[in-house]
Structure 1
Amino acid sequence: MKIATIVGGGVIGGGWAARFLLNGWDVRVFDPDPEAERKIGEVLDNARRSLPGLSDTALPPEGKLTFHDTMSDAVQGASWIQESVPERLELKQKVYQTLQEHAPEDAILGSSTSGFKPSELQGCASRPEQIVVTHPFNPVYLMPLVELVATEKNAPDMVERAAEILRSVGMYPLKVRKEIDAHIADRFLEAVWREALWMVKDGVATTEEIDESIRMGFGIRWAQMGLFETYRVAGGEAGMKHFMAQFGPALKWPWTKLMDVPEFTDELVDLIAGQSDAQSGHMSIRELERARDDNVVGMMRALKANDWGAGAVLNAHDARLNAQSDMPQTMAEITDMAALVPTGRRAIPADWLDYNGHMNEACYGIAFSEATDRLMKIIGCDAEYIATGGSYFTGETHIRYLDEAHLGQVVDIRTRVIKGEGKKMHLWHEMYEGDRLLATGEHFLLHVSLETRRPSEPSQEIMDNLAALAEAHAALPPSEGAGRFVGQPR
């Protein structure tokens, strides 16, 4: 049993609870706020709506969430304890003293602090080696980055164990090599924030205009390439040296007020708050969160397609989830040859919905295509085989839409081999949500040579595996709807 304890159930603590819970951990929460259960429940609603959409395989069964009246009760049996209390050093140190009186000695105690160094947090602790900084980004249940900051008091194997746990829930632990106030990412955010405050105060730009300059421009580039790689590309064929030679002199020009900050007067606060209300006050915070989550999922799914940046982290997490699933990876792992082969299990993401609020018809084809790919891997037509010059091309597809699929529903696909002989592969897919049949897909494929782009014989292993499945499935009752043509009455 994997147990995580969350101390402090605000926006960040609630996000941590969702990240662990939806990745199969039992989560225990301590927060004296009487509204904590409601607030975390609302965060969880958003997380359940968006996080499964990042994966192309189903997340593990959701863990159990419990709320506790004392820290001593909440930490029992926990292997991970995440502190997300307000940014007051004396409060955090007091919390650690109480936690370490009751927590398992081998539990990892991570702090969500955005500014304090781990050596400061360890100051009054009875077991300083147990405490590290694990600073996430909001929303914690979607954003992969965690700044993992340790000191010489933390054993290297403990730090690596923390990193592996974070990877296991789909996050990217960035090990900060030297502790520094505000770590790495928040120092960049602070620099941009200071410059933005001056621009608003001086009447150069409104809050909305500043946000547009980021999200319509460099924010998109940074999302997939970061800072230095973006500038390397900007240097053209001559690379980074050319870029620095061209723009280096600008560092001496008075382009920035980063070394100064405007005074936080009531007038400045009212000015910024008023502009912010005009910009997005027509939407509730929950509506803004859902829009943010849908946009983040869409961008990160695009990065998955190129196995780039945050998308590479998601693909690695999918690979871990696939390895832990009960779906067969090879012929040897098929437990019942006479049953349809499990070839897909995933949640419906937001970008698969259409204007009717249900799954777009084209996305059934994506789901069935993924199921075909898994069946191909099972019979031996995997990436290694395809690299030798052989693969299957789809020649014909017929999909029947029998019932609606909606956002977040977990669907299973099971596959029957109707025919597998020579160059031909004839498949039948069935898509279910629980016991409800949503759709069927009938697909005819031909094995081809990737060199000639013409039909060719597959390997003997693939022909034998296909034939074995076709023979076993021939004993099943006929699949209702197989062989139909478009428009045929039921």
Structure 2
Amino acid sequence: MTRKAGIIGGGVIGGGWAARFLLSGWDVAIFDPDPEAPRKIGEVLTNARAALPALADVPMPPEGRLTFAASVAEAVEGAHYVQESVSERLELKHAVYAQIQAAAPNTLLGSSTSGFKPSELQQGAVNPAQIFVAHPFNPVYLLPLAEVVPSPRNDAQSIETAKEILRDIGMFPLHVRKEIDAHIADRFLEAVWREALWLVKDGIATTEEIDEAIRMGFGLRWGQMGLFETYRIAGGEAGMKHFMAQFGPCLTWPWTKLMDVPEFNDALVDLIAGQSDAQSGAYSIRELERIRDQNLIGFLRVLKQRDWGAGKVLRDHDARRRAAEPAPTPEGAGPLVLAHMQVLPGWIDYNGHMTESQYLFASSEASNAFLDYVGAGMDYVAGGRSYYTAESHIMHRGEAKLGDRLTGTVQVLGADEKRMHLFIRILRGETEVASIEQVLLHVDMAAGKTCPAAPEVLDRLLALVQAHADLPRPAAAGRHVGQKQR
């Protein structure tokens, strides 16, 4: 079933929401009275298309359909979810909600508000129970956090449904248990922002020096561990109690002007803006966005490899997509269709083609899926036995380029109690772009030598040998390197 998201407000945040939903396979209708909205959102989408797929190790779903609505009512009609991202003026939000709920009173309505409480947003609404806070962070199409803030008027099941929608588009819904002005994250940011203004105003640091202090130091720690866990480690073996005993008294020392706000006047604005221009003015906003996106991709992929923090969200989202992949084809109907992939930005070389190492990765995806299929997956490996690849012969028959969707199939050419002989094809549609012939040996991992496979694995494997015996033998099977084509 195709799902639709109605996006009200197409600025930086609204455009990011639109990109996140679209690239997750949702149809999106946007309403924004700005005549420049299509251009601006188009530029955000260009950046998102280059960035978000790089975080996935499974194919992205087909992109949804984008439309620009002529009215709020048109944007939300038939929507399964609505996200509001208009300016931070409560009276404006109330007016927009009246229009939304006149057309879709029972549709979940999330607000991107940075500061208003849901109870404030719900005032005077036709159906206040459907309105809640879903506060994201820029860029919405890359960062997973969305603060989900209900009020006592919200139905618990509706909030759970909203959280599941957010998970479906790869986000991490942080359920804020009690409504409060500015929620959780922005209260931290506001405190840091106020202190930074004083440091600049008093001539202690420039905007660039403050940013360097964050991105070269604690910002990286916070990005993968948060505040309290970072401080726990700072306490050494004695842990948090030691840290609190050592640094707790500092809370009463005059280290911060947190509760004292500098006068917000033209002089302060000029000072901050001038230093910011000197720091970053050599780049356009779009250039800065692309630099930011590429840095975030690298950071998030490292976290994903470590299965830590935001990277764990990415892994969990990949697992959800894998669970929805088609089941393998029945035995005897042909080679097993076992892997579905997409050529990602990190898979291509300077020619724009998929690199040889990624063809081997693609074959590994197929062979790993095959091992799972015959009962020799990770649970089997945990028992001390595994199949090791002894030989591989790859033949390149075509080219795969960025964005191509690939399928990996496995044909079993032979097997006995200690080895299996596989022929793997990597297909783009019906076109074979590569074949990989492999021999794998069954190994006792502790002894470091071959041994017979478990009976249940061998039974499934030999059944496949028999089922595939009548399939045409691939012409490339058994070829040596450099052998002329027949």
Shift of 1:325: 1.6
Encode CA deviations 1:195-216: one digit per residue, 9 max, x unaligned: 2222222222222222222122
Q: Which residue of 1 aligns with 2:255?
A: 255
Moved more, 279-288 or 65-74: 279-288
Over aligned residue pairs, what C-alpha RMSD do you find? 2.1
Q: Following the alignment from structure 1 to structure 2, what is the Cα–Cα distance between the partners of residues 436 and 279? A: 51
Give the % identical residues: 60
Unaligned runs of 5+ in 2: none
Equivalent residue letter for 1:426 = H
User: Are the aligned partners of 2:417 and 2:452 in contact in 1 as well (CA < 8 Å)?
Assistant: yes
User: Are the aligned partners of 1:78 and 1:104 in contact in 2 as well (CA < 8 Å)?
Assistant: no
Q: Which residue of 2 aligns with 1:376?
A: 371
Equivalent residue letter for 1:8 = G
In the TM superposition, what are the counterparts of 1:224-263 in structure 2 within 5 Å?
224-263=224-263
Match of 1:418 among 406, 413, 419: 413
Shift of 1:363: 3.1
Moved more, 304-313 or 357-366: 357-366
Q: Which residue of 1 aligns with 2:130?
A: 130
Normalising by structure 1, we get a TM-score of: 0.93
Match of 1:337 among 332, 335, 358: 332
Q: Following the alignment from structure 2 to structure 1, what is the Cα–Cα distance between the partners of residues 73 and 157? A: 26
Tell me the SS of whatever aligns to 2:369: helix
User: Are the aligned partners of 1:53 and 1:347 in contact in 2 as well (CA < 8 Å)?
Assistant: no
In the TM superposition, what are the counterparts of 1:319-398 in structure 2 within 5 Å?
319-328=319-328, 334-335=329-330, 337-398=332-393
Tell me the SS of whatever aligns to 1:416: strand
Shift of 1:389: 2.1
Moved more, 399-408 or 225-234: 399-408
Equivalent residue letter for 2:183 = H
Q: Which residue of 2 aligns with 1:44?
A: 45
Q: Which residue of 2 aligns with 1:331?
A: none
Relative distance call for 1:213 and 1:404 in structure 2 (3 A) is farther
Tell me the SS of whatever aligns to 2:83: strand
Shift of 1:399: 3.1
Tell me the SS of whatever aligns to 2:449: coil
Q: Following the alignment from structure 2 to structure 1, what is the Cα–Cα distance between the partners of residues 424 and 313? A: 30
User: Are the aligned partners of 1:393 and 1:448 in contact in 2 as well (CA < 8 Å)?
Assistant: yes
Q: Following the alignment from structure 2 to structure 1, what is the Cα–Cα distance between the partners of residues 139 and 430? A: 34
Q: Following the alignment from structure 2 to structure 1, what is the Cα–Cα distance between the partners of residues 339 and 410? A: 9
Match of 2:428 among 430, 433, 439: 433
User: Are the aligned partners of 2:54 and 2:345 in contact in 1 as well (CA < 8 Å)?
Assistant: yes
Shift of 1:172: 0.8
Shift of 1:427: 2.4
Normalising by structure 2, we get a TM-score of: 0.93
Q: Following the alignment from structure 1 to structure 2, what is the Cα–Cα distance between the partners of residues 413 and 227? A: 43
Tell me the SS of whatever aligns to 2:229: helix
Unaligned runs of 5+ in 1: 329-333
User: Are the aligned partners of 2:330 and 2:336 in contact in 1 as well (CA < 8 Å)?
Assistant: no
Encode CA deviations 1:73-99: one digit per residue, 9 max, x unaligned: 221111201001111110000000111
Relative distance call for 1:196 and 1:338 in structure 2 (3 A) is same
Relative distance call for 1:420 and 1:283 in structure 2 (3 A) is farther
User: Are the aligned partners of 2:5 and 2:79 in contact in 1 as well (CA < 8 Å)?
Assistant: yes
Shift of 1:104: 4.5
User: Are the aligned partners of 1:114 and 1:186 in contact in 2 as well (CA < 8 Å)?
Assistant: yes
User: Are the aligned partners of 1:381 and 1:462 in contact in 2 as well (CA < 8 Å)?
Assistant: yes
Q: Which residue of 1 aligns with 2:212?
A: 212
Q: Following the alignment from structure 1 to structure 2, what is the Cα–Cα distance between the partners of residues 337 and 46? A: 45
Equivalent residue letter for 1:90 = E
Q: Following the alignment from structure 1 to structure 2, what is the Cα–Cα distance between the partners of residues 355 and 45? A: 21
Q: Following the alignment from structure 2 to structure 1, what is the Cα–Cα distance between the partners of residues 261 and 343? A: 46
Equivalent residue letter for 1:101 = A
Moved more, 151-160 or 472-481: 472-481
Relative distance call for 1:422 and 1:27 in structure 2 (3 A) is same
Q: Which residue of 1 aligns with 2:155?
A: 155
**2:55 aligned with 1:54:** yes
Q: Which residue of 1 aligns with 2:32?
A: 31
Encode CA deviations 1:423-454: one digit per residue, 9 max, x unaligned: 21222322233445433333221111233222
Relative distance call for 1:190 and 1:435 in structure 2 (3 A) is farther
Relative distance call for 1:130 and 1:443 in structure 2 (3 A) is same
Match of 2:447 among 436, 448, 452: 452
Q: Following the alignment from structure 2 to structure 1, what is the Cα–Cα distance between the partners of residues 431 and 281? A: 42
Encode CA deviations 1:331-359: one digit per residue, 9 max, x unaligned: xxx23634232232233333334455544
Number of equivalences:
484
User: Are the aligned partners of 2:331 and 2:467 in contact in 1 as well (CA < 8 Å)?
Assistant: no
User: Are the aligned partners of 2:118 and 2:133 in contact in 1 as well (CA < 8 Å)?
Assistant: yes
Moved more, 302-311 or 360-369: 360-369
Q: Following the alignment from structure 2 to structure 1, what is the Cα–Cα distance between the partners of residues 157 and 434? A: 49
Shift of 1:174: 0.5
Q: Following the alignment from structure 1 to structure 2, what is the Cα–Cα distance between the partners of residues 484 and 264? A: 76
User: Are the aligned partners of 2:25 and 2:61 in contact in 1 as well (CA < 8 Å)?
Assistant: yes
Greater length-normalized contact order (CA 8 Å, ≥ 6 residues apart): 1
Moved more, 23-32 or 439-448: 439-448
Q: Following the alignment from structure 1 to structure 2, what is the Cα–Cα distance between the partners of residues 324 and 85? A: 35
Moved more, 461-470 or 64-73: 461-470
Q: Following the alignment from structure 2 to structure 1, what is the Cα–Cα distance between the partners of residues 77 and 338? A: 39
Q: Following the alignment from structure 2 to structure 1, what is the Cα–Cα distance between the partners of residues 395 and 116? A: 57
Q: Following the alignment from structure 1 to structure 2, what is the Cα–Cα distance between the partners of residues 486 and 210? A: 58
Q: Following the alignment from structure 1 to structure 2, what is the Cα–Cα distance between the partners of residues 344 and 396? A: 21
User: Are the aligned partners of 1:197 and 1:262 in contact in 2 as well (CA < 8 Å)?
Assistant: yes
Equivalent residue letter for 1:301 = R
